[in-house]
Amino acid sequence: MSTDSNDEVNVLQLSIHGVLIGYLAGFKNGRNVLSIADSFKNSPDRPTFSLITHPSFPNAAKLMAEPWARNQRLHPVLSNLLPEGSLRELIAQGLKVHVDNEFHILSYLGEDLPGAIEATPMEPEDVPGYVLNTHGKAKAVKFDKDALHKKGRENKFSLAGVQMKFSMKEKDGRYNISKGDVLGDWIIKTPSTKHKFVPLNEYTAMSLAGLVGVDIPEIKLVELDKLDNLPQINLPDEKQAFAIKRFDREDDQRIHMEDFAQILVKYPHEKYTSANYENIGKVIYDYSGDGLADAQQFARRLLVNILLANGDAHLKNWSFLYPDKITPRLSPAYDIVTTSVYIENETQYALNLGKTKEWYTVTMAHFQAWADKSGIPWRAIKPHLDDTLSRARELWPEALKALPMEDAHKDGLRTHWGKLQEDFKIDAKK
> 139-140 and 31-36: which strand pairing?
unpaired
Distance CA 63, CA 34 (A): 12
Is 407 catalytic? The answer is no
pLDDT digits (tens, 9 = 90+) for 316-365: 999 999 999 999 999 999 999 999 999 999 999 999 999 999 999 999 99
- Determine the pLDDT at residue 268: 93
Q: What is the dihedral of CA 148, 150, 151, 154, to 10 degrees?
A: 160
- Determine the pLDDT at residue 160: 39
Backbone angles phi, psi at 109, to 5 degrees: -95, 0
Strands in 299-372 per DSSP E:
319-322, 329-330, 348-353, 356-358
Residue spans of the domains in the chain: they are 5-153, 165-419
Instruction: Check: CB of residue 83 under 8 Å from CB of residue 269.
Output: no
Give 151's pLDDT tier (boundaries 50, 70, 90). low
CATH 3.30.870 fits 165-419, yes or no: no
Q: Please tell me which residue in 112, 248, 294, 312 is annotated as part of the active site.
A: 312
Answer yes or no: is pLDDT of 2 > 60: no
Instruction: Check: CB of residue 14 under 8 Å from CB of residue 118.
Output: yes
Using CA atoms, how far residue 74 sits from 261, 264, 266, in Å, is: 13, 15, 11
Mean pLDDT value across residues 201-217:
98
Q: What is the dihedral of CA 59, 62, 66, 71, to 10 degrees?
A: -10
Helix crossing, 291-307 with 277-287: angle to 10°?
150
Distance CA 168, CA 22 (A): 28
> 19-27 and 31-36: which strand pairing?
antiparallel
Mean pLDDT value across residues 174-202:
91
Instruction: Check: CB of residue 188 under 8 Å from CB of residue 240.
Output: no
- Determine the pLDDT at residue 248: 95
Answer yes or no: is pLDDT of 157 > 80: no
